[in-house]
Amino acid sequence: MKVEHYVEIFGEQTDMKRLSDIVKEIWKGEGNLVKDLVSIEIYFKPEEKMCYYVINGDVQGKFQV
């Protein structure tokens, strides 16, 4: 079964899978391995066009969408 999650506000749509893929790329870009990912929490604030994330419960970051 394929599930897709989108957030749409003010006529703009954001694919949540794309946001998680970006977080994974950030993780890998910092020299980490995908297999070391235990959890990813994503907090998307469409009114700010910002994505905040927490990886493995302690690595925090953000990026503009």
Q: For position 9, what pLDDT does the model report?
A: 82
Give residue 25's pLDDT.
Answer: 97
- Confidence (pTM): 0.86
Place of tokens 């700010």: 48
> How far apart are the C-alpha atoms of 25 and 7, rounded to whole Å?
21
pLDDT of residue 47: 86
Is residue 49 within 8 A of residue 37, CB to CB? The reply is no
Q: What is the pLDDT of residue 24?
A: 96
How does pLDDT run along the chain (65 residues), one tens digit per residue? Answer: 888 888 888 888 889 999 999 999 999 999 999 999 999 999 999 888 899 999 999 999 999 98
